[in-house]
Structure 1
Amino acid sequence: MASADVERVERWFRNGELLHPCEGDAPPSTVDLSRAIASIGGVPLSDHDSRAQELAERIGRDRPLLFVMVDGLGCVFDELASPGGLLAEAEGIQLRSVFPSTTAAALTTLATGAWPSQHGVPAWYTHLHRNDLTATILPFVERDSERKLQEFGIRPSEAFTYPSRMAAIEGRFRTYHPRAISNSEFTSYQRGSAPTDPYDHLRDAAATVVSRIVEEDEPGIHYLYLPMVDSASHRDGPNASTTRRALEAVDTALGAIAEQLDGRARIAVSADHGELYVSAREKALFLPDDPLLDHLHTPPHGEPRVPMFCVQRGREAAFEGEFRERWGRDWALITRAEAEEMRLFGPEPMTSLAAERIGSHLALTATKNVIVYGEAGNKVSALNGYHAGLRAEEMEIPLLLA
C-alpha cells in the first residue's frame, strides 16, 4: 500500500504541478540527447534507442557538429531570448532533464547516456557512502573543508564509475571549457583522451571554435560548455538584470559563431536544467546542531531542492515523524525504495552504488521551497536561484538547432 506521501507526489504528477522525468507523455530526455550525439560520433545505438535515433536525424550527420551546453538555459528563459537572435530563431525541440535536475546528475548523464539510477552521481552534494564523506562532486572536494578528494584517498575513477560515452566517440572530438575546469577530474572523465581548448572569456571561446572548424577545417564533434547563465541565475535569480545580460552575451556569441561558420557546421544548443527564483521566506535552514541529526548517519546531502538523508536503522519512524511535523506542509518525505518504484531516477533498475549515494530517504516539494544544510548565512542559503526538483521551470530544457 502506497504511503500518504507517495500518493501526494503522484497527485502532484497527475495535476501537472511536477513533471515525471520518463513516464506519461514525457518528451525526449537528456539521456536520449546524449546517445544521439554519441551516435553521430560513431557510438552505436541499441534497438531501444528510437528517440535518440530521431534526435540524431534531426541534428544531422552530414557536417561537423558544434554542440553547445548552456548551463541553466531551461525553457523558462524562452521569453527572455532577444528577438532575431539565434536562441529565438533556431528550430526548437523540447526535452526534459533527468531527476534530480542538477548539473552533477545531468552532465554525468550527458557524458554517459545513462540515467542517474545507473551512473550514480545523483547530486551536487553526493554522499560517498563507502568513504563516509559528502563530496561536492564536480569540483571534486569534500563539502565542508573543500579539500581535494584525493587527500582522502579517493580517485576520480572511484567517484565516476560509469563509462563515458563521450570518451568513446570515434574520430575527431574536441571540447571547449573555461580554463578553471578544462582539466578538472570530471571534465577529464567526460572527454577521455579527446583534446580540449581552454578559454578565459566568451569571446575567446567563440574565436577558437570558429578557428578550429573554419580555418583548420576540423570535422567531427565540437563540445562547447558555457556556465555564465547558470552562475548569474544562481547568484541573482533567473529574472535578474545580470542574468539577462549573461543570456544576451551568450546569444550574441552564438550568433557571431553561426554567422562566421556560414553553414559549415550544424549548431545544436541545449541545457542541463532550468532555474527557480526562491525568496527568503521559501528557504529553511537545517543547522549543524539540529536534533534531527541524532537520527542520521551523516548530515543531509543531495540538493536544497531535493534533500537526501541516510537514516540510521531503527530510527526511521522517529525521523519521518519529526521531519513531517516540521516540514510536512510543503514537503513529501519518501524512501529511496519508493522513489525507485516510481522510477524517479530513471526507468532502469537502480545500481547498488546509486542507492548508497542517494541514502534511505529524500524529500520532494511542488512548491519553490528549499532546505539548506549549514550555518545561518552560509553561501548556499544566500543564493537566489535554485534547481534540482521536478517543477517545469527546472525540468523543461530546449534543443535548439541552427
Structure 2
Amino acid sequence: MQTKETIVFPDYPNSLLGAISSVLRHYGVQDTHATLPELDQALQKGPRNVVFMIFDGLGVDMLEHNLAPDDFFRRHLRRELTSVYPSTTAAATTTYNSGLSPLEHGSLGWSLYFKEYCRCIDIFPNQDSFSGEEIAGGRANDRFLSYKTIYERIAEAGSGVHTYNLQPSFIPFREGPHTLVHADDVQTYCDTIAEICRNGQQNFIYAYWFEPDSTMHKQGCYTDGIKEMVRRFSAQVEAMCAQLEDTLLIVSADHGLRNVEPQPVYLNEIEELAECLLLPPSMDARAASLFVRPDRKADFPALFQKHLGADFLLLTREEAFARQLFGPGQPHPKSLDFVGDFVACAVGDRYLKYRTPNAPDKGHLYFGHHAGLTAPEMVIPLILCEMP
C-alpha cells in the first residue's frame, strides 16, 4: 500500500469550469463563474475558429510521463488546472457541456442513488449499478438531470458563431442548435476539424475523445501502449495545427488517472462498516457517497478510519458542502439528494465497490482509476496553440 499522498482539492476559479466559462463569456453568454485570464487573453484576439479538444484522462501526470519536453502538448502547456470533484467523467464532461459546476448540474458521479427508482443507477448507460438491468421508462439522467447545453446558451446569446460537437459514435445523440459529428478515431477528428475550420465561417468546435482513459482503466497508466497512444495524439494534433489559420486550439482533459490496487475494497465484506450503512455506496469508486444509519453516525468515522483511513479522507456532508467540494453556485435539488452523510475521498491507491445479492459477479478489475483527490487524478493541462 502506498502512503497517503498530497491532497489536491478542486480550485474552481482555476479549473476546467473556468476554461469553459472563458469560452462562454467570449461568445456573449452571461456567466457568473470565474474565467481563466490566460484563455481570456487569447480569445480577445478574436480568432475565427475556436477548437476545444478534450482527451479523457489526459492529466498533466500523463504528459510528464509519456512526452518529451519539446513534444507538442508539453511545448504548448500554458498552465495547470484542477478538475472538478469528483474527478470523474460524469461530473467533468457535464461541466464542460453545461458550463455549470457539479453542484449546479447534479451529475456527481457514475453511479447515483435515485430515490424515485429506489436504486443506484449508472447514469450514462442508464442501468442498475448492481444488476446491470436497463432502467425502463427513458433515461433517468435526461428526466432528472437535464440542463441547457453550452450550444444552446451560445445560440441564445446571439453571437452568430456556428457550433460543432465531435464525439464517438457510441455516445447517445442529443439534438440542439449545433452540428453533431460522430467519428471513431483521432485522425478522423483532426481531419474533420481542419475541414470545418476552412469553411470561412466563425466556428466553435468542441471535440471529446474517450482515450487514454479507457485503456488506462484496463492496463494501468504507465504502459508502453499508453506512452505510444499519448505520443500519437500529440503528433496528430500538431499535424492538424499545421493546416489551420485564424484559429485558437485549446486542449485539456476531464481528469487524470493514477495506478491503483486492482482488487477493490468491497464494503459489504467489512462487517463493522457494512452494518452502519443504510444504502450501498454510490457516486464513484474513489469518491463514495455514504448514507449511514442515524444511530451509527457518531461511531462511523472512527470505524472508517480504522479500516480505510490510510487510503480515504472522510468528510461529513456538512464539511463537503462548506468547502464547496462540488463547486460554487446554487445546488441542483438532486445534488442535495445524492450526497450522503459522509463522502469518502480517495487519497491512496484503493477503490471501493459493493456486492449485492442480485449482482451477477464481482466485475472486472481496474488497474488505473480516478475520482480521487490525488494530483495525478486532479491536475489537468491547459494547452493553448494560436494559429494566426
Q: TM-score when scaled to structure 1? A: 0.83
- Unaligned 5+ runs, structure 1: 1-11
Q: How many residues align?
A: 372
Distance 1:377-1:256 versus aligned 2 partners, 3 A rule:
farther
Choose which of 155, 177, 189 in structure 1 pairs with 2:167. Answer: 177
Q: Which stretch of the first structure deviates more once superposed, 172-181 or 160-169?
A: 160-169
| Cα pair 1:275 1:386 within 8 Å, conserved | yes
Paired position in structure 2 for 1:227: 210
- Does 2:110 align with 1:124? yes
Which residue type is aligned with residue 306 of structure 1? A
Distance 1:138-1:327 versus aligned 2 partners, 3 A rule:
same
Q: Equivalents in 2 of 1:394, 1:134: separation in Å?
A: 24
Q: Equivalents in 1 of 2:347, 2:376: separation in Å?
A: 11
Encode CA deviations 1:1-59: one digit per residue, 9 max, x unaligned: xxxxxxxxxxx9xxx8112213xxx761111111112223332344x63x346522234
Choose which of 251, 267, 281 in structure 2 pairs with 1:269. Answer: 251
Distance 1:154-1:366 versus aligned 2 partners, 3 A rule:
closer
Choose which of 135, 140, 144 in structure 1 pairs with 2:126. Answer: 140
Distance 1:351-1:177 versus aligned 2 partners, 3 A rule:
closer
Indicate the SS of the match to 1:221. Answer: strand
Distance 1:34-1:252 versus aligned 2 partners, 3 A rule:
same
Q: Equivalents in 1 of 2:187, 2:311: separation in Å?
A: 44
- Does 2:90 align with 1:104? yes
Cα distance, 1:298 vs. partner?
Answer: 2.3
Matches within 5 A, 1:257-336: 257-261=240-244, 263-280=245-262, 283-287=264-268, 292-317=273-298, 319-336=300-317
Indicate the SS of the match to 2:6. Answer: coil
After superposition, the CA RMSD in angstroms is 2.7
Choose which of 78, 86, 89 in structure 1 pairs with 2:75. Answer: 89
Cα distance, 1:376 vs. partner?
Answer: 11
Q: Which stretch of the first structure deviates more once superposed, 217-226 or 316-325?
A: 316-325
Q: TM-score when scaled to structure 2? A: 0.86
Indicate the SS of the match to 2:279. Answer: coil
Which residue type is aligned with residue 7 of structure 2? L
Choose which of 142, 154, 168 in structure 1 pairs with 2:153. Answer: 168
Choose which of 217, 223, 232 in structure 2 pairs with 1:249. Answer: 232
Choose which of 41, 62, 78 in structure 2 pairs with 1:77. Answer: 62
Which residue type is aligned with residue 165 of structure 2? T
Indicate the SS of the match to 2:170. Answer: helix
- Unaligned 5+ runs, structure 2: 156-160
Q: Which stretch of the first structure deviates more once superposed, 137-146 or 32-41?
A: 137-146
Q: Equivalents in 1 of 2:177, 2:115: separation in Å?
A: 29
Paired position in structure 2 for 1:385: 368
Indicate the SS of the match to 1:180. Answer: coil
Q: Which stretch of the first structure deviates more once superposed, 239-248 or 314-323?
A: 314-323
Choose which of 186, 189, 204 in structure 2 pairs with 1:205. Answer: 189
Q: Equivalents in 2 of 1:201, 1:289: separation in Å?
A: 43
| Cα pair 1:182 1:197 within 8 Å, conserved | no
Q: Which stretch of the first structure deviates more once superposed, 231-240 or 272-281?
A: 272-281
Encode CA deviations 1:140-161: one digit per residue, 9 max, x unaligned: 3322233443x15555432323
Q: Equivalents in 2 of 1:329, 1:399: separation in Å?
A: 32
| Cα pair 1:304 1:372 within 8 Å, conserved | yes
Q: Equivalents in 2 of 1:29, 1:312: separation in Å?
A: 35
| Cα pair 2:311 2:349 within 8 Å, conserved | no
Which residue type is aligned with residue 297 of structure 1? L
Encode CA deviations 1:59-96: one digit per residue, 9 max, x unaligned: 44322011100111111022222454321221422111
Encode CA deviations 1:142-182: one digit per residue, 9 max, x unaligned: 22233443x15555432323433343123310011111115
Which residue type is aligned with residue 265 of structure 2? A
Choose which of 363, 370, 383 in structure 1 pairs with 2:344. Answer: 363
Q: Equivalents in 1 of 2:327, 2:43: separation in Å?
A: 24
Indicate the SS of the match to 1:169. Answer: helix
Indicate the SS of the match to 2:294. Answer: coil
Which residue type is aligned with residue 107 of structure 1? T
Identity %: 26
Choose which of 7, 30, 44 in structure 2 pairs with 1:18. Answer: 7
Distance 1:84-1:371 versus aligned 2 partners, 3 A rule:
same
Paired position in structure 1 for 2:30: 44
Q: Equivalents in 2 of 1:234, 1:76: separation in Å?
A: 15
| Cα pair 2:252 2:380 within 8 Å, conserved | yes
Q: Equivalents in 1 of 2:130, 2:213: separation in Å?
A: 23
| Cα pair 2:10 2:82 within 8 Å, conserved | yes
Which residue type is aligned with residue 169 of structure 2? R
| Cα pair 1:237 1:384 within 8 Å, conserved | yes
